[in-house]
Structure 1
Amino acid sequence: MNKPAQSQHSSNCNTTPIVLTIAGSDSGGGAGIQADIKAISATGGYACSVITALTAQNTLGVTDIFPVSPDFIEAQLDAVFSDLNVKAVKIGMLSDAGVIEAVARKLRQYQPEHIVLDPVMVATSGDLLLETKAITTLKSELLPLATLITPNLPEAIALTRSDNHAAPVPSVDSSDRETIIAQLQSLNTEAVLLKGGHWETESQSTDYLLTKSDTVTFSAQRIQTQNTHGTGCTLSAAIASYLAQGYTLTGAVAEAKNYLTLALKFADQLKIGQGHGPVHHFHAFQPQSGDLA
């Protein structure tokens, strides 16, 4: 069954909606932990963080990565969970199998209500960012714990191939999309949000929320802007924020999709760096100029 999304929300106003982001740091501020904290804050959550890696990064690219040890990642997780009532967790960049195992071990120990996994696996160039062993570990250790995983098309292909390798993105008019959807629905995880941003020939950007028995679509006008850095981080963090506030999964995805669309719509009001700048996380809190209707 394929049906359009409807926003759904149940009140959770008696508790502070605390959201933990587990991800790498982006020194340029557009993606990673920095984007997550902005998105969570802008959508009504309280953000706390566990840093898995430091990157030397700006709008032009990544020049260096300094990984954080699994032991220290576990120490950060213990510090957060032993004190804060975390309602939802967003997971981004995890550098290797050891880090993935450490995060999974602590999540099984503390059992947060919602886990949103953004499987950062494939670079814009198409190169895999994780070794095959790490992808296998991600699939076996974290996918079963996740409320939702949010792959883009190259990541979805890597997750569904038996050899864990990326593959060319299929054309929009081929039958490959339905094949990928069926394969994603067979993964050992609760739900998958297949992001459609890589099918750039379409005027609409359509994402597919997949459960074992259902498909819900979320469509929005495709925004033409160079400021797209951190879109995946922003969307997954916003979903976690809305889940922490009591939204249903469908409602959280719908609200987050709308938030990201507006953040892209107003992104050109930001003049950040010389390359691909960030989306406008705080567009709702700043005066807007020009006719953007």
Structure 2
Amino acid sequence: MKTLFTFLLLVFITRVHAQDKLNLFHIVDSETKLPISSVSVSIIRARLAINTENDGVFSIPGNLSAMRDTIIFAAQNYRVYKFPIRELEGRDSIQLVRIAFLAPPKQSVSKLDTLLNDFDSNDVEHYAGVSERATSFEWLQLAQRFDAPKIGGVLKNVSIYRLLFSYTGTEYTKFRVRIYGLDSLTRGPGRDLCSKVIEAKSNGRRRIKIDLTDLNIIIPDPEFFVAVEWVRDFHNMGYVRLNNADGLTTNQVINYRPAIGISPVKTNNLNIWGMNFRRAWLPYSYFSPDFTDLAIKAEVSK
């Protein structure tokens, strides 16, 4: 079992007093009891977030009953599970409940397509997902808002532009794409519009195009969102150096690929939303007012 939870262990060892006990947990489907892969596990006060691998296993050292923090388990197509870490004491598994997904009716795909959020990719110079001034990047997802050209249109594909760190042009990255409807109260991302897990991988492409034609993703609202969900695992991990407060020294911190481009085209509204460790969606204003959109294009059939 090779997972990023090795890093979680090291961090916790420096923060808790009781280090003699290792608590091991399996995250499984409540009905099938099969492991759930790539569950997002976030610990709020400790400001940690990681993903399980295929075995759905994670571990925490120390006396759980003495810990004063909150842990959140979230996976696509399952209910979010949130409770105090101390309630894990005496347990060996976490059972997540699957959410029923009502598939939209089939739509005929028109030959007339609309490309949304177009820009010149050669002008993309800024990226989200590396660091934010002197702090590490602490968002689980970033979402780009789109105005739907037509309610009932079908999302055909999305193109996501990312930063390549490697001079050789080959740098592995893995992430998930989420498609959301509109939350009428917050005006941010709402319910999932696709039940299938959409995972994108790339070794050397700056532009990653994901074909969604076969998924029949219907846009039911006047607005919709395309989000990048970071996979925080061992294989997708990298490092960046941050400047310390003295301005002379730096500190190496972990980050996760990819770094998502910021569109060079400024619009009248801030169209970027971010999900924090509490899994709350908030407007992502780090690059505003100079930039308002992610470097993500979407093609919708009308």
Specify the TM-score bucket, using the shorter chain as the normaliser. under 0.3
> What's the TM-score, normalizing by structure 2?
0.22
TM-score normalised by length of structure 1 = 0.22
Larger Rg: 2
Which structure features the higher share of helix residues? 1
